[in-house]
Chains A and B, each alone.
Chain A
Amino acid sequence: MSFFPPRSGFRLAMLVFLATGALFLPPVVLRYVLPGLSPFLFVCTVVATRNIGLSALLSLPMLAFVVWRRRGFCHHICPVGWLVELCAKARTTANCDYGRVPLIGQWAALLTMGGAVATLPLFLLLDPLALFTGAVGGAHVPLWVLRLACAGGLAVLLVLSVAFPLLWCKRLCPLGAMQDLLAELNGLFARRLSESPCESGEGDLGLARRAFLGLGGGMAVSALAVRAPGAAAATCLRPPGAIDDARFATLCVRCGNCVRSCPSEIIRPDVQPPGLAGLLAPTLSFEANYCLETCNACGQNCPTGAIAGLTLAAKNACRIGLARIAETGCLLAVEKECSACAAICPRGAIIEEFSAETYTAMVRVDAETCNGCGACVAVCPPRVISVVPAGQA
């Protein structure tokens, strides 16, 4: 018997494709490959964002495939599943009967899908593909924290898989669990069509109960969370086109695609979020560069719609935040020769104003025109300009 689990060749190829794709292919490829590959991500994000993208061309056949072949994704495609099986091979003697372990993965999947109905897919980031992409995705300086976290998560998962072979796949993974649910549903329908109703067993009742509680609970929690006062107000700077903050932290799967795709390198994983929910979600730093008016890559590369895939014009119309010029420190206010911010502003949103009373010139941000692109931040010699999130402006 080979050391490698069955169907290794195909999944190894898949893994190599994903890794090389992340490294060498244009980032936009990932946008379609990653959500297309994970039916869990696809279903939840389509439901949560009420928006279906081109990736459906890949996702819908995949969905049909996993309905037709139970756990077809896990056995044939999932690179994490392959790694988990590889770990299991190291422990051939271990007991793999987890009959008494609760179906955590199914609960997570149901809660997430229920939440998605109320636009808040609760545990979306447990998707193994997101974890995998975050860990192995292309090298990028601001991304190291995220990569470390994802690699750490992956490592924990693998250690777990050595200690309890296949526990992740069988009981924890929401992507796997969703396939079980689909298969059960499929079987249920098949029986309903062919047999008399009285033959529906205990398992079906369990499924119904889980589905009712999971979906209902997810919906209720999400609906409450989304409607919580102040939840939607942006407290962090998010990439342009980002969904409101109440949804962002859950819809974002921390795959790092936006960070990787940003040519200005202004998107970085938030290591100091205002709330724990936003940990490692993308936030913006204008210290060295700004959101280019010629770029809409982050949204185009977001697999979940946490950042909407907007056209360039629509992206430029998005408000990231609002530039704020500190009351003291502006060079112009002390009659020094500077108009760097006004000169650099791509939208002409920084306006010079002259006070006849004090006979001084000042710069003012026009809140109507400014979209918070941050061009003025790095160019300000005394660094007195910051961009504040729209919720704080």
Chain B
Amino acid sequence: MKHLNRRDFIRALGFTSLAAGGMGRVLADPIHEGSQVVEGITASARGAAAFLEDGKVIQPRREVPVFRDTDVLVVGGGTAGVVAALAARRAGVNTTLVERYGCFGGLWTAGLVLIVLCTHVPGEGKRTKMVQGIGDEILARIHSQKHGAINYSADGPHDATTDPEVTKYVLARMLREEGVDIVLHSWVTNAILDGDAVRGVLFESKAGCMAIRAKVVIDATGDGDVFDAAGAESIPHVHRIGLVHRLGNVPEGNSPEGLNLGGATPIPGVRWVNMQGPQGDCLDVPTLTNCELDGREAIWNKLKQIQETPGYENVFLLDVASQLGVRASRTLVGTQELRLEETLEQKAYADVIGVGGTYSFLKNLPCAIPYGSLVPVRVDNLLASGRCVAADNTMLNYTRLIAPCMLTGQAAGAAAALAVQENCTPRNVDVAKLQGLLKAQGAYLG
């Protein structure tokens, strides 16, 4: 029998399956179903395999290939990360955005948390919009799409709710329009340190572990993975971990007593249902695994209950969030901390970088966020943004929401760009210049 090499074997297999499929088409080239046998398109960065030494798993020491060299590196493509990347790029520096999944928006989209809270404060009769700048620009663009958003307005009584797919699309469009260097499906796992200064990150990918070097790194991971890897001090939290889902074919009108049909979405008949879930350590793999599995089961149990209710028999489960609803894990120990009592007494911060709308425990007051809450105490070339900024145990329930993430994202992006342009560390950025840049980018600072 003729010895088949690998390529011949695959080719033969292709022909066989074609014949078996009964296709009458004769192909000129033996490439089938879009698949093509190639060699060496991806240089593997995996390095040599790990080995055992006295029963312990050892990773060999090696040089890590550098995938990118950039000015500002934003880690995490959630709300804060996207806004940070846009702000940095618009300020005129090379910006790379790394995201572990394949879409942007994080918990806002993949997490199906569709309501954009804390954009407004109540006023006399009408509400006043606090969150402006890039965040509001994003919301306006989402709203301009068909079925993009509901309740989006300058002074309306309700908080905007967006469609996750429109949001993913708009965020990606805006990043590409600005020329942000986008790196998807890459999970940042470690920091590159030079003393107390961060010089970049390592990320895992299908191609193995690679490095991105950057002048300033923005940690928009939500969990503070980068600042933790860089040795910055942080505070660990446990919080409820939920799993959000959407229901389809939900009849109009008030839901019956005891039936939680969630909130309206821009798509008629589709509602999004939040979940609180059990409290747990969001950095613990078994916890995350159980929350994912238990949450999904709970959703199906609740769906069954809905479908047993007369009039709701045809409600179906549209989708379950692909990202677990993690509320809090690490918060940075910053040079300043956002504190409830200071917010309630409306303390004026000289380094204010954003003013957000009100939230349940803020007694209808707006919330100013100081730049210091993004700056680590010791580690340089690093800024936090989004859920993991420095905030006390109450205020983290504010900073973790979408609108405040937009504010800290824009501030981190602008500050990082300034640091690159001024050739200084982010902690030494001229606050007046930063505030000027943020205002030029449309932000409202009170």
A interface residues with partner B (beta carbon < 8 Å)? 332, 334-340, 343-344, 352, 354, 356, 359-361, 378-379, 381
Contact = CB atoms under 8 A, between A and B. Distances in A.
Given A356-B294, A361-B278, A361-B279, 18 more contacts: A335-B260, A335-B262, A335-B273, A335-B274, A335-B275, A336-B274, A337-B274, A337-B401, A343-B393, A343-B394, A344-B394, A354-B240, A354-B276, A359-B275, A359-B301, A359-B302, A360-B276, A361-B240
B117 interface: yes
B278 A354 contact: yes
Interface string B269-292: 000011111110000000000000
B79 to A, nearest CB: 15
A286 B153 CA distance: 33
A344 B278 contact: no
B334 interface: no
Contacts of A360: 276
Most buried by B among A332, A337, A344, A378: A337
Given A359-B298, A361-B240, A338 B360 contact: yes
Contact of B361 (A334, A335, A343, A354): A343
Interface in B354-398: 360-361, 363, 393-394, 397
A352 B279 contact: yes
Given A352-B240, A361-B240, A381 B360 contact: yes
Contacts of A336: 274
Contacts of A359: 275, 277, 294-295, 298, 301-302
B384 to A, nearest CB: 21
20 contacts: A332-B276, A334-B260, A335-B273, A335-B274, A335-B275, A336-B274, A337-B117, A340-B360, A343-B340, A343-B393, A343-B394, A352-B240, A354-B278, A356-B294, A359-B275, A359-B277, A361-B276, A361-B277, A379-B361, A381-B360
Contacts of B274: 335-337
Contacts of A334: 260
Contacts of A379: 360-361, 363
A354 B242 CA distance: 12
A83 B407 CA distance: 65
A354 B287 CA distance: 15
B283 to A, nearest CB: 19
Nearest to A334: B260
Nearest to B401: A337
A335 B242 CA distance: 9
Contacts of B275: 335, 359
A354 B238 CA distance: 13
A332 to B, nearest CB: 6
Contacts of A344: 340, 361, 394
A337 B117 CA distance: 10
A338 B394 CA distance: 11
A356 B273 contact: no
Contacts of B360: 338, 340, 379, 381
Contacts, number: 52
A356 B276 contact: no
A366 B360 CA distance: 22
Nearest to A380: B360
Nearest to A331: B360
Nearest to B392: A343
B277 A354 contact: yes
A336 B360 CA distance: 12
B127 to A, nearest CB: 15
Interface string B323-354: 00000000000000000100000000000000
A358 to B, nearest CB: 8
Contact of A343 (B277, B279, B397): B397
Interface in B381-423: 393-394, 397, 401
Contacts of B393: 343
A221 B361 CA distance: 49
Contacts of B276: 332, 335, 354, 360-361
Nearest to A328: B257
- Residue of B262, B278, B302 contacting most chain A CB atoms (<10 Å): B278
Contacts of B260: 334-335
Interface in B234-286: 240, 242, 260, 262, 273-279
A344 B393 CA distance: 10
Nearest to B261: A334
A335 B275 CA distance: 5
Interface in B185-205: none
B264 to A, nearest CB: 13
A73 B117 CA distance: 65
Q: Which of A343, A354, A356, A378 has the most CB of B within 10 A?
A: A343
Contacts of A356: 278, 294
Contacts of A337: 117, 274, 401
A360 to B, nearest CB: 6
A337 B360 CA distance: 9
Contacts of A381: 360
A14 B242 CA distance: 67
A352 B239 CA distance: 10
Contact of B397 (A332, A339, A361, A378): A339
5 closest Cβ pairs, A-B complex? A359-B298, A361-B276, A343-B394, A340-B360, A354-B278
